[in-house]
Amino acid sequence: MRSKFRHVALIGKYQAIASGAQGASSRQALEEVAHFLHAQGCEVAFESQTASNMGITGYAALKVEAIGEQCDLALVVGGDGTMLGIGRQLARYGVPLIGINQGRLGFITDIPFDGFQTTLQPMLAGAYEEDHRSLMQAKVLRDGHCVFDALAMNDVVVNRGATSGMVELRVEVDGHFVANQRADGLIIASPTGSTAYALSAGGPLLHPSIPGWVLVPIAPHTLSNRPIVLADATEIAIEIVAGRDASANFDMQSLATLLHGDRIVVSRSQYRARFLHPKGWSYFDTLRQKLHWNEGVA
């Protein structure tokens, strides 16, 4: 079987170090995948930061923008954090992504590295399931002006300062006042992010096909403040009413220091990430495996 994808980009762990055992192992894994792709008739390129970090030569090195413009597939060898990072950047180009897991949980990098050839070969030939994930567009408004703008695939989190007490947050949905919440913070999570920080804070799991997100308070002062699921067509605004050194995190990657009166406005992005999974893939299989459901059941 020959690949239906002509030009494939490889992306590795952004934080991997080229020297030492971990770096050598990651470099070897990437080169093994590259050799396999070449044998399938693919033109292979490396994301430029991956090539630089790993000391990989002999392949074209492309910046993310060039990958979006030139490649028909991006293949991530790493963990969910690597997939989130590249997924946010490539969503605007519509390039599909496949994840080979070298991380820990692997909710969205779902192909084990061991034996990846057996799983990947039919996918390259066109036998795959396609899964679209919505992104969040988040802005920080200060005195009516946008001072920070970011995309998030997992979540937008407003947190109290490291050494301060609770923050007080005014929450609005589509301009309608919901509540003033006193808590350690507040999470707005997509279905993709419902298995991340929001789950740890007591939020529900959202199936990826649900066009919604979940609003989850972090250690609320009033125990009746519970998570709520909202349609992702809504616009959520969070205003900093009280509390020192509050910050906003977007997929835990970007951070903005917030002042009283700042508003974090979250809406559905026009872009969606495209994930490809092996034929027969099921979200419930992933949950069962990663969350260790049914363990101990005869």
Contact present, 80 and 44 (Cβ < 8 Å): no
In the set 80, 155, 232, 262, the catalytic residue is 80
Block residue for tokens 């991006």: 74
Length, in residues, of the chain: 298
184 DSSP assignment: S
Q: How far apart are CA 16 and CA 12, in angstroms?
A: 8
DSSP states along 99-163: EEE-SSS-SS--EESTTHHHHHHHHHTT-EEEEEEEEEEEEEEETTEEEEEEEESSEEEEE--SS
Which pair of tokens denotes residue 68?
């979006």
Tell me the β-bridge partners of 187: 157, 216
Which pair of tokens denotes residue 133?
């994930």
- Going by DSSP bridges, is the β-strand pair 155-159/185-189 parallel, antiparallel, or unpaired? antiparallel
Q: How far apart are the first and last CA of the chain?
A: 40
Q: How far apart are CA 103 and CA 226, in angstroms?
A: 32
224 DSSP assignment: T
> Is 110 among the residues known to form the active site?
no
Contact present, 269 and 151 (Cβ < 8 Å): yes
Any residues with CB less than 8 A from the CB of 41 and at least 6 apart, and which?
A: 2, 3
Q: Where are the beta strands (DSSP E) in 243-262?
A: 247-250, 254-257
Query: Known catalytic residues?
Result: 80
